[in-house]
Amino acid sequence: GDSVTQMEGPVTLSEEAFLTINCTYTATGYPSLFWYVQYPGEGLQLLLKATKADDKGSNKGFEATYRKETTSFHLEKGSVQVSDSAVYFCALTPNTGTASKLTFGTGTRLQVTL
């Protein structure tokens, strides 16, 4: 079945450091890929998405590129802020119509310090 593997956390960075959170997936066909973010005490919010190979999703300074050849969708940000501290989830959904569901990774906690 479909699966998503994320790097183990927590990731601790100083403010303005470069961020990479690795995500790889296993799926048949050509899934859509997502990054969700969960701030403390809140539900998940969509951060960015990509629906086909070589697409780059971007939002709030975060970027991720859909790499079919390496089955990866790594999240990057050039300069993190304290306000980026949250848990980040990589997810996929097969493009099989309205009955499809999201498969999530285990989440990676990011802690940014001053």
Partner 1 sequence: DAGVIQSPRHEVTEMGQEVTLRCKPISGHNSLFWYRQTMMRGLELLIYFNNNVPIDDSGMPEDRFSAKMPNASFSTLKIQPSEPRDSAVYFCASRWDTYEQYFGPGTRLTVT
Task: Give residues in contact with partner 1 (CB under 8 A).
Answer: 32, 34, 42-46, 49, 89, 93, 95, 97-102, 104, 106-107
- Of 26 and 45, which CB lies nearer to partner 1 in the complex structure? 45
Shortest approach of partner 1 to residue 97 CB, angstroms?
7
Phi, psi of 75 (to 5 degrees): -95, 135
Greatest Cα pair distance, the chain, in angstroms, is 44
Shortest approach of partner 1 to residue 12 CB, angstroms?
18
69: left (phi over 0), alpha (psi -120 to 50) or beta: alpha
- Of 99 and 114, which CB lies nearer to partner 1 in the complex structure? 99
- Of 17 and 111, which CB lies nearer to partner 1 in the complex structure? 111
- Of 45 and 81, which CB lies nearer to partner 1 in the complex structure? 45
Those residues with Cβ within 8 angstroms of residue 5's Cβ, 6 or more apart along the chain or in another chain: 23, 24, 25, 26, 105
**Residue closest to 31 by CA, chosen among 106, 104, 88:** 104
Shortest approach of partner 1 to residue 66 CB, angstroms?
16
